[in-house]
Structure 1
Amino acid sequence: MRIRATVAAVSGALALSALAVPAAHADEAEGDTAISNVVVNGGKAVVVGATAKKSVTVTFTVKDAAGVGWAQAILYHGATIDSSDTGALANGRDGRATCTTVNATTKNCTSTFDLAPGLNLINSSAGGWKVWAIATGKDDDYVLKESAKSFTVQRASKLTVDATPEPVKKGRTITVTGKLSRANWETGKYAGYTAQPVKLQFRKKSATSYTTLKTVKTNGTGALKTTTTATVDGYYRYSFAGTSTTPAVSAAGDYVDVK
């Protein structure tokens, strides 16, 4: 089958040439084989820290009236798999998915992938990724989907806060500092996330939710600093809404006793 050659070419290129792939064709299909219900990482964004690899599970359903043959998925970053700059092959024997039988025409398939800083992850590969998938029927029908599912891979974030002085007299000025940082997949460390809007929030001692006091931007090192007026006992925190490359994060509240 021509499709077997395509899979071999894509898989070999991903494994052996820095994850750049040759022409792999757009969507193709022959017969009634169908792929559906593709889910990546349980439907959540994939968040990866500065050093540790992240294991990512992809599940999908394959149907064919003659019975399901085999299936395979590949993860990649780029507009198309032809132009991808990085990606991942599934763990295990020859990269094929592990499929369990639902009935004579249907199987549920699972593949697990490793995304690792400094290997198949660099800073510029944060953001949108896609799943390339293929499945065959026992009658040699097949379907190939170049973008069976889109998902997001993000650089893990951290956020701190420190409100001073503690305690403070009512009506006096409180200075609130902090820092927003995110994983740098190329250095293996966390670095400041610059020029990002971050909310300063306050929760009264007796309250259960925070209210926003103002929005502050991080400086050239990711640092935050602003002031507010002490009114009542409560907790101050910074809260970042996140971006396409970096997840939302909120600092643990810092309690200030107002005398």
Structure 2
Amino acid sequence: MSASTVTCDGTIPVNPQEDLPRNYLADDWNVAVTAGSTSITQHSTVAVKRQARLLSGVVATTEPGKYKLRGSLLRTDWESGAEQDYSGRTVKLQFRKEGSTTYSTVDTFTTNDAGRVVATVQPSEDGYWRWSFGGNQTTGAAKSTELYFDGV
């Protein structure tokens, strides 16, 4: 008998309000899968995280060419089913020059009690701005929509 390799893919649908009724369940889960009559068991770790969302907006300032970029970090509360402000989290302000595919971090901020951040920028070149949250043990990463500025 020769050795063989079998690859199996599977999806387990999860409804957080029904299947994960408590926020403390967000964490790394140990998963074991047993295959067929040979009772071969494979163990793995799966990250189960609450969903995050980053909103962005812009407001012109009284100074010509300067803008206030606003961000709001939210995450899903599995117990209520609603989104909540996510305070005290590190959020990066990033810029991508027009024609480039790579973002660079301009500055780092901490969300306030309402999950909000504000930065004043003075674009000197054409490009895109966004907010980025890297995620953590219990909450997934999120990026805001891009905001385009003509730097001229």
Structures share fold, TM-score greater than 0.5: yes
The structure-2 alpha-carbon separation of the partners of 1:149 and 1:213, relative to structure 1 and needing over 3 Å to count, comes to same
Q: Which residue of 2 aligns with 1:165?
A: 60
Give the Å deviation of 1:199. 0.6
Identify which of 50, 67, 72 aligns with 1:174: 67
1:96-135 aligned within 5 A: 113-121=12-20, 122-134=22-34
Q: Which residue of 2 aligns with 1:52?
A: none
Residue type of the partner of 1:158? R
| 1:235-255 Cα deviation digits (max 9, x unpaired) | 211011111212222112111
Larger radius of gyration: 1
Q: Which residue of 2 aligns with 1:150?
A: 45
Higher relative contact order (CA 8 A, sep 6+): 2
- For 1:111 and 1:206, locate their aligned partners in 2 and report how far apart those are by CA, in whole Å: 39
1:31-50 aligned within 5 A: none
Contact 2:123/2:150 (<8 A) preserved:
no
The structure-2 alpha-carbon separation of the partners of 1:108 and 1:256, relative to structure 1 and needing over 3 Å to count, comes to closer
Structure 2 segments unaligned to the other structure (5+ residues): none
Contact 1:163/1:256 (<8 A) preserved:
no
- For 1:113 and 1:254, locate their aligned partners in 2 and report how far apart those are by CA, in whole Å: 36
Determine what percentage of the aligned residue pairs are the same residue: 32
CA RMSD of aligned residues (A): 2.9
Greater helix content: 1
| 1:169-206 Cα deviation digits (max 9, x unpaired) | 4xx43211011111111111111111111110112234
Greater strand content: 1
- Is the aligned partner of 1:236 residue 2:129? yes
- Is the aligned partner of 1:198 residue 2:97? no
Contact 1:157/1:248 (<8 A) preserved:
yes
- Is the aligned partner of 1:223 residue 2:116? yes
**Secondary structure of 1:150's aligned partner:** strand
The structure-2 alpha-carbon separation of the partners of 1:212 and 1:113, relative to structure 1 and needing over 3 Å to count, comes to closer
The structure-2 alpha-carbon separation of the partners of 1:233 and 1:126, relative to structure 1 and needing over 3 Å to count, comes to same
Give the Å deviation of 1:137. 4.1
Q: Which residue of 2 aligns with 1:96?
A: none
